[in-house]
Amino acid sequence: MDLNLTDDQKAFREEVRTWLVGNVPREIRHDGTREAFEEHREWEKRLYEAGYAAIHWPQAYGGRDADLLTQAIFQEEYFRAKAPERINVLGLGLAGPTLMVYGTDEQKQRWLPKILSAEEIWCQGFSEPDAGSDLAALRTTAVREGDEFIVNGQKIWTSLARYGDWIFTLVRTDKDAPKHKGISFLMIPMDSPGIDVRPIVQINNDAGFSEVFFTDVRVPAENLVGELNDGWRIAMTTLGFERATGLGAHVRFSRDLQELVGIVKAAGLAEDPVTRDQVTKLFVETEVYRHNMYRTLTRLAGGKPIGPEASLNK
């Protein structure tokens, strides 16, 4: 891939770098509370007001039509500036682009502006206890009843579920169809009666993931994206957007690795063979990630399918 920047791209890098220097908050909470979440939402709104919330979106939907290299430039500068972690990434990176492809005009008008402005934060409801690597084995059901779907089931490892406003999810709408054929793509408000969110507290006391239980949750039929029972095809498109993410994250990994090297030296472990071996392996993995990210960019820029290697970027 030709990574020589154009004058416009160089100017964009300088523009972004200058804005981040003047606007990245000096302090922002990371304690997993509602207050911390709302602080991050306010940061998302500042990005939106400055025109940086979703530069990859088409101009018609409020973006900048940024090409892949311009997106990578933004992400590199974002991580280099140690800007806060994005909480709207699932809406901006997955739900929004999926709606652009499969949503009705009414759905686009309803959801896209509020995704872009961070008024509504989204989470993703794909994985289930028995449907992780085999996603098509999902058991959460949605039964049509008049102008509504009645949803029952469970999702797991759901990021942002505690405080998110909406969840885009896969549900089984035809139990008799082959497992890949009877699935639909449904948008559900997280404040719906019958939704129970249970945080998964990990060993480090982090609770970034949750279980989400649906008990007779009523969802308007107009929240169905695409055709009934066509959710698997839509989900593959969504996952394609996901596998193309991670642009610029190598900067964060390299930065963290440099900090780790400093800690190792301060602890007097720089000459310890086991420690040196572990740090070297981390360096190699970071470089592999960086080169694989550029390989993904090259394939996407050339209009080629990204293939399974792009999953490594996750």
Return the active site residues.
242
CA–CA dist 134, 120 (Å, integer): 30
22 HSE (CA, 13 A, CB side): 8
Identity of residue 54:
A
CA–CA dist 236, 226 (Å, integer): 13
Among 221, 235, 230, CA closest to 98: 235
Tally of residues, the chain: 314
Q: Which residues contact 212 (CB under 8 A, 6 or more apart)?
A: 125, 154, 155, 156, 158, 161, 167, 195, 196, 197, 198
Strand partners, 200: 209
